[in-house]
Amino acid sequence: MSPASRMAAIATLFAVATLPVLFRQYLGRTGAEIPIFMRGVEAFLQGRLYVDHVFEYPPYALIWFLAPYAWAPDDVQSFRLAFGLEIWLFDAAIKATLLWRAVRARAGFPDLIPFFVYSLGSAALGHVLLMKYDAVPAALSFAGALAVAGGLPFLGGAATMLAAGTKAYPALFIPILAIIAWHGGSRDLRRYAYGVAAAAAPLLLVAPWMPWWNFASFHDMRGLEVGSVVASLLWLLHFTGVDASWALIGTSNEIGGPVAAQLFLPARLLWIGATLGSCGVAAAAALRHGAHRMTASTTAAFLLLTVSAFVATNTVFSPQFHLWLIPLAALVLEGRHTLPLLTQRGAWIVFTATMIVPTFYPSREYALGLGLWRTFVLVTRNLLLLYATVCLWRSALRMRQPELPPAAAATSLSGT
**pLDDT tens across the length of the chain (416 residues):** 667 777 888 888 889 898 888 877 766 666 778 899 999 999 999 989 998 888 989 999 999 999 999 998 888 888 999 999 999 999 999 999 999 999 887 767 789 999 999 999 999 998 889 999 999 999 999 999 999 999 999 999 999 999 999 999 999 999 999 999 999 899 999 999 999 999 999 999 998 889 999 888 887 888 999 999 999 999 999 999 999 999 988 778 999 999 999 999 999 999 999 999 999 999 999 998 765 678 999 999 999 999 999 999 999 999 999 999 999 999 999 998 889 999 999 999 999 999 999 999 988 899 899 999 999 999 999 999 999 999 999 999 987 655 444 444 343 333 33
The secondary structure of residue 46, as a DSSP letter, is T
Q: Are 245 and 257 in contact (CB under 8 A)?
A: yes
Q: How far is Cα 190 from Cα 339, in angstroms, rounded to an integer?
A: 28
SS3 of 245, please? strand
Amino acid at 227: G
Q: How far is Cα 297 from Cα 293, in angstroms, rounded to an integer?
A: 12
Cα separations (Å) of 218 from 212, 269, 358? 12, 18, 28
Q: How far is Cα 218 from Cα 226, in angstroms, rounded to an integer?
A: 18
- pTM of the shown model: 0.92
* DSSP code string of 8-33: HHHHHHHHHHHHHHHGGGGSSPPPTH
Q: How far is Cα 348 from Cα 320, in angstroms, rounded to an integer?
A: 18
Q: How far is Cα 331 from Cα 319, in angstroms, rounded to an integer?
A: 21
Q: How far is Cα 182 from Cα 178, in angstroms, rounded to an integer?
A: 6
DSSP3 helix / strand / coil % (the chain, rounded to 5)? 75, 5, 25
